[in-house]
Amino acid sequence: MTPNSLLSIAIPTYNRCEILKQNLVAILPQLIKHHVTLYISDDSSDECTRIMAGELRTEHPLIVYRKNEPRLGHDANFFATLAMPDTDYVWYLGDSGYFAPGTLDEVLAALAKFHPNFCFLNTSLSGGGTRLIEGDALHPFLLDRTWYLTLSGATIYGRASRESQALQVSEARLAGWKNFPQLGVLLEACAQSPQRLLWLDSPMLKANQRKSSYWLKSAFNVFVKDWSNLIRSFPVLFSEMEQDRILRSHSVNTQLFGPTSLLQLRAIGALTVEELERHHRDFAVVSPISPMWARLLARLPQRLIALIWWVARSMRNFVRGKV
């Protein structure tokens, strides 16, 4: 079987063997059809993913597995995963994601037609249609969609972007991309030279609903401190006012740090008075609602909020089961 030289898919993973297997089984027919090689960079603490990859290789020989010993960690595994393939394009897909039937038909045709530096895949956003973004259209696009591109799996990286100076940055600069290296590479490339971006508007990306979020208990560190550090590290791309707009757009569009999310964060102990004090300046920018409400909620007993959250979730699940 001759591997597809245009596109490969690379997945970093950490202790999500069963979820990853479900996702791979769902996309395997498309990989087989187009001879697309799948690379897995495994940070897991057990051998489950290695065994699973070996089993799937009997159906699709173009599966390349690597166990990282010692574990690389989230950011280092991004760079290691991206460097594994040697195809024109690498789709960096998160281990909780998969894609709809017919996706590879459209993706491969679009890459061959437009030859972008980066290609972006949609989940459920609307408006704009499939389009090339370059020249004067680049800046408005980044203002509008940078928040979305935090999603692992939303970006396909061209060879030029993987071999560019965007990957040859100092350790100090990389530190400013903590938890978001996949987006840091894109923004760095845009800051250094004109880029040719492609947005594919058809809803393609799917998320396994069984996943649990690695970062939920660290929401303030990740989506307040680290998110702010990333965006603030690109003054060459965005003015201070534009940085504020982008920082807040993530919470506005995802409802992270909205009322329901804050209730959940308080229920699991992630929202505390200490966390708010530690991140108060950045949180005031990131939060889509007045930080005053977060401070009030943080002072309520966690056990009470956990009970309220459990009751609300149970009622919601009951209603869904009746529909």
Q: What is the pLDDT of residues 52-97, one digit of tens each?
A: 999 999 999 999 999 999 999 999 999 999 999 999 999 999 999 9
201 sits in which H/E element: strand 197-203
User: pLDDT tens digit string along 211-267?
Assistant: 667 788 899 999 999 999 999 999 999 999 999 999 999 999 999 999 999 999 999
Q: Do the domain assignments include residue 85?
A: yes
- Report the pLDDT value the prediction gives residue 211, as an integer from 0 to 100: 62
Give the model's pLDDT for residue 127.
75
> Is residue 1 included in any domain, yes or no?
no
Using alpha carbons, list the distances in angstroms from residue 101 to 27, 33, 109.
7, 11, 15
Q: Are residues 264 and 180 in the same domain?
A: no
pLDDT at 28: 97
Statement to judge: residues 140 and 15 lie in one domain: yes
- Distance from C-alpha of 288 to C-alpha of 259, rounded to nearest angstrom: 9
Q: Assess if residue 2 is contained within a domain.
A: no
> pTM for the complete prediction?
0.94
Residue 249 lies in a domain: yes
Q: Which of 176, 207, 238 marks a domain boundary?
A: 207
Tokens describing residue 211: 């996943």
User: 203 and 240 share a domain?
Assistant: no
Do 165 and 296 lie in one domain? The reply is no
Residues 37 and 131 in one domain: yes
Say if residue 259 is in the same domain as residue 310.
Answer: yes
Q: What is the pLDDT of residue 161?
A: 86
Is there a domain that residue 182 lies in? yes
pLDDT-based confidence at 10, cuts 50/70/90?
very high
Residues 18-43 have pLDDT tens digits of 999 999 999 999 999 999 999 999 99
Which residue, 91, 2, 81, 18, is CA-closest to 51?
A: 18
Q: Are strands 155-158 and 89-92 parallel, antiparallel or unpaired?
A: antiparallel
In CATH, what number is assigned to the domain containing residue 140? 3.90.550.10
- DSSP labels, 16-65: -HHHHHHHHHHHHHHHHHHT-EEEEEE--SSSHHHHHHHHHHTT-S-EEE
Cα diameter, the chain: 61
Domain boundary among 207, 234, 263: 207
Alpha carbon separation from 285 to 244, 278, 281, 292, 321 (Å, rounded): 6, 14, 7, 13, 38
Is 268 a domain residue?
A: yes
| 166 and 251 both lie in a single domain | no
| pLDDT recorded at residue 321 | 60
Residue 148 lies in a domain: yes
| 261 and 295 housed in the same domain | yes
Asked whether the beta carbons of 265 and 221 are under 8 A apart, the reply is no
Domain-ending residue, one of 181, 207, 233: 207
pLDDT at position 116 over 90: yes
Quick one: residue 193, left, alpha or beta (phi over 0 = left, psi -120 to 50 = alpha)? Answer: beta
Tens digit of each residue's pLDDT (9 = 90 or more) over 160-196: 888 876 677 888 888 899 999 999 999 999 999 999 9
Count of structural domains, the chain: 2
What is the predicted pLDDT for the residue at 305? 94
Same domain, 222 and 151: no
d(C-alpha 77, C-alpha 88), whole Å: 20
Q: Are 110 and 15 members of one domain?
A: yes
For 59-128, the three-class secondary structure string (H helix, E strand, C coil) is: CCCCEEEEECCCCCCHHHHHHHHHHCCCCCEEEECCCCEEECCCHHHHHHHHHHHHCCCEEEEECCCCCC
* Residues of the domain holding 127: 7-207
Q: Are residues 309 and 241 in the same domain?
A: yes
> Does 169 lie in the same domain as 194?
yes
